Chain A
């Protein structure tokens, strides 16, 4: 499966550029799918999702993607870029969205769901999104090490070598 990185144009650059991933053959991108599903949830989850949107807006417009705003647990703490934001306390846990934080100015927002279990390995909602983020983390780590993906320091954009493809 090939996946492409797309800049989220409705979240225009201010402090941080937002990107997401669209897997070939899927109707929508990861972030779009997340938002679409959260909109359909019951009110308590929806309230957490709205707060998460506000949080992302503050990252984009004012504070930047500082590492301190992202959570890690034993599943993500050893991965170079993968992290998550967990918002609220919808019964029994909040909603979680996985991200790849490349720098303070470059953030890939991926997918997530309401966490239902203490450990992510046991959560049927979030585990697949974690696995996806973990896989991408490995791909990005290697591509950045090999110079296939870089940050243009002037424009603070993500750039890639012509022949680079994300193969999942």
Chain B
């Protein structure tokens, strides 16, 4: 077996980075692709096919497919529709994460309250930095996170 090699005359090939795309456009597509992929992963976790989710949302499969192609401009309403159909959060605000983290921590970890410590969390909870543990007693008080 032989490998297909890189083009011997690369100057013929377009260098995409040489054509700057509007930064806002890149951010938009990046977010849309990220959300679409996340929904796709949630569907896999739930054992749902695109057709099943479309049915739950009262939409056609073709329409849902357009939502998930990485170029769709999601609205809060469309995300709410997706979340309602999936029964899971698709995006979370920092406030959602704030309330999740302490509950996760108090069940699974022990802390040294004197140290400023970083903990990595799996799942949808973002990396969190513990900045203040004073007064932490089980889950009775909120702990501040960045």
Q: How many positions in chain A have a CB within 8 Å of any CB in the partner chain? A: 40
**A10, B21: Cβ atoms under 8 Å?**
no
- Nearest-neighbour CB distance to chain A for B134, whole angstroms, equals 40
- Nearest-neighbour CB distance to chain A for B90, whole angstroms, equals 14
Q: Is B71 interfacial (CB-CB < 8 Å)?
A: yes
Q: Is A54 interfacial (CB-CB < 8 Å)?
A: yes
Task: Name 20 A/B residue pairs within 8 A (Cβ), A-sorted.
Answer: A7-B4, A19-B4, A32-B13, A32-B14, A50-B22, A51-B21, A53-B19, A54-B16, A54-B25, A55-B71, A57-B26, A60-B16, A68-B37, A69-B36, A71-B69, A155-B3, A160-B1, A161-B2, A162-B1, A162-B2
- Nearest-neighbour CB distance to chain B for A9, whole angstroms, equals 4
| Interface residues in chain B, defined as those with a beta carbon under 8 Å from any beta carbon in chain A | 1-8, 10, 12-17, 19, 21-22, 25-26, 29-30, 33-34, 36-37, 40, 65, 68-71
**Interface members, chain A 60-86 (any B CB < 8 Å):** 60, 62-63, 66, 68-72
Interface of A is mostly: mixed
